[in-house]
């Protein structure tokens, strides 16, 4: 993934974490398109759809209606660092 892809993916996963969403919980439908997307730079906008597709293909999120929801793999990815840090 490129730097732009990484930033977009990290931002999206960070939003799931900030909202404390778990498996089968979706991002607010309007957040991706109306709040987050307009804040991106042109290069980030260019990779936005591909980044979301990559998150879906890798099984971290799955599409639902006009948004995406976390899978169990996504939950492990975003919360495993938190539990590892607490266990140290």
pLDDT block averages, 10 residues each, the chain of length 88: 91 96 93 96 97 97 95 93 48
In a 10 Å sphere around its CB, with 0-12 CB exposed, 13-18 middle and 19+ buried, how is residue 27 labelled? buried
Look up the pTM and report it.
0.86
Cβ-in-10-Å burial (0-12, 13-18, 19+) of 51 comes to buried
* Structural domains in the chain, sorted by start: 3-87 (1.10.10)
Q: Quote the pLDDT of residue 50.
A: 97
Res 80: pLDDT? 86
């Amino acid at each position: 993934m490129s730097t732009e892809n990484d930033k977009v993916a990290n931002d999206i996963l960070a939003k799931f974490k900030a909202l404390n969403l778990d498996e089968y919980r979706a991002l607010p439908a309007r957040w991706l398109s109306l709040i987050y997307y307009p804040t991106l730079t042109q290069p980030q906008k260019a990779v936005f759809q591909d980044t979301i597709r990559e998150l879906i293909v890798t099984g971290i999120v799955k599409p639902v209606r006009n948004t995406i929801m976390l899978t169990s793999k996504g939950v492990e990815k975003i919360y495993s660092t938190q539990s590892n840090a607490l266990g140290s």
